[in-house]
């Protein structure tokens, strides 16, 4: 019988004794309502004719309860190929399951053939966190959407400011993540991904990726990336967790840097952001900024409060206001202050100082414009 087939697969398993997550069931058939009028007795008889074929997972027992539930779907929509994207629950026995007929059947039906090069990577790729969110039935088809490239040490894969257009997965080797000054801020290894934020947020690339060790990298364009995101909601959760992990790691690194002595440049972290970071993290220590237009500046913090400030001929709040005008200069924060400085009064309430400093900065910019 040539009835079109639709596929349901298990997306939730609550102690089902027969089946497991991702098991696949195929369903086909028709349901026809028929009315027949008996002219002799002047009565009308109504019939319902159904024909359905349900294929259970190979090697698994046939569950009569689930068989009845799937038959009801045929009756409801009259033909298997008319069943829309949907999710159903079995009637249950000692356990229950939920099954989904998803749009991936339509989206990936015309997938490309998996190349021999990618096929040889299947075992490795299936262990990556990203691909674990793809249904096993479509894993090879999804992987076939990717292209493969190899890079040598020093190659730039993507550069900050470039238009975003691809999502990357590092298969072998390692790469460095660089900031504007070319300083390494993190490293990525086998199985890690990058480039997704420019696609998800529709923004330009926010960091430069440079090859640290000879690398093998998969990439996919935005259209196919969006297709995968649309079909597999679990991928969205994967990226949400990934962003949270990266944010936590970034905050941890910053906190550790502040504890051990942070260095950097005002061109990377504006003075107002640097001072706010020290204040909000209630840091105690000395901030030294060199290579400035008026020499070296020195600021002392106690539990985040500014207690000393010196820059050029200015000291106190005037030194603080002046440093906000600088947009380049090397800084270093060294934890700890002299014992006598624990009794030194604050220069002023920090947020009030900052607001006044930003007001003066805006005024100076306005005067230059005029």
> Exposure pattern of 322-354 as b/e (b: 16+ CB <10 Å)?
bbbebeebebebeeebeeeeeeeeebeebeebb
pLDDT of residue 310: 96
Sheet of 263-265, strand order: 263-265, 330-335, 285-292, 295-302, 305-311, 314-315
This prediction's pTM: 0.46
pLDDT of residue 110: 47
pLDDT of residue 321: 94
Give the tokens for residue 58.
Answer: 């190979």
pLDDT of residue 109: 46
- Any idea of the CA torsion for 198, 134, 81, 86, to the nearest 10 degrees? -80
User: pLDDT under 50 in the chain at which residues?
Assistant: 1, 109-111
User: Do 5 and 26 meet the contact criterion of CB atoms below 8 Å apart?
Assistant: yes
What number does CATH give the domain 116-254? 2.60.120.10
Pairing of the two strands 6-14 and 96-101: antiparallel
Pairing of the two strands 193-194 and 96-101: unpaired
| Intervals of CATH 2.60.120.10 along the chain | 116-254
Give the tokens for residue 91.
Answer: 């009637």
pLDDT of residue 38: 65
What is the spatial distance between Cα 138 and Cα 141, in angstroms, rounded to a whole number?
5
What is the spatial distance between Cα 325 and Cα 322, in angstroms, rounded to a whole number?
6
pLDDT of residue 75: 86
């Amino acid at each position: 019988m040539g009835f079109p087939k639709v596929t349901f697969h298990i997306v939730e398993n609550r102690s089902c004794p027969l089946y497991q997550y991702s098991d696949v069931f195929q369903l086909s058939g028709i349901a026809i309502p028929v009315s027949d009028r008996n002219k002799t007795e002047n009565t009308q008889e109504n019939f319902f004719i159904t024909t359905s074929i349900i294929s259970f997972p190979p090697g698994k027992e046939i569950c009569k309860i689930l068989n009845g539930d799937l038959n009801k779907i045929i009756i409801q929509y009259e033909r298997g190929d008319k069943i829309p994207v949907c999710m159903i629950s079995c009637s249950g026995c000692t356990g229950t399951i939920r099954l989904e007929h998803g749009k991936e059947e339509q989206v990936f039906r015309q997938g490309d053939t998996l190349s021999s090069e990618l096929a040889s990577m299947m075992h490795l790729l299936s262990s990556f966190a990203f691909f674990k969110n793809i249904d096993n039935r479509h894993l090879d088809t999804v992987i076939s959407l990717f292209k493969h490239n190899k890079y040598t040490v020093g190659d730039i894969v993507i550069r900050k400011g470039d238009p975003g257009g691809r999502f990357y997965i590092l298969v072998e080797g390692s790469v460095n993540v660089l900031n504007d000054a070319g300083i390494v801020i993190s490293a990525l290894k086998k199985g890690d991904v990058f480039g997704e934020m420019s696609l998800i947020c529709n923004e330009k690339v926010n960091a430069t990726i440079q090859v640290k060790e000879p690398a093998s990298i998969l990439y996919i364009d935005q259209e196919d990336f969006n297709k995968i995101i649309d079909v597999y909601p679990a991928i969205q959760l994967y990226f949400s967790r990934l962003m949270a992990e990266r944010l936590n790691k970034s905050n941890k690194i910053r906190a550790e840097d502040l504890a051990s002595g942070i260095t950097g440049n005002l061109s990377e972290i504006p003075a107002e952001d640097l001072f706010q970071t020290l204040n909000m993290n209630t840091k105690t220590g000395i901030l030294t900024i060199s290579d400035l237009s008026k020499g070296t500046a020195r600021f002392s913090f106690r539990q985040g409060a500014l207690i000393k400030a010196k820059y050029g001929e200015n000291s106190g709040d005037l030194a603080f206001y002046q440093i906000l005008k600088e947009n380049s200069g090397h800084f270093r924060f060294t934890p700890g202050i002299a014992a006598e400085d624990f009794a030194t009064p604050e220069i002023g309430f920090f947020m009030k100082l900052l607001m006044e400093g930003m007001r003066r900065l805006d005024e100076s910019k306005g005067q230059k414009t005029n």
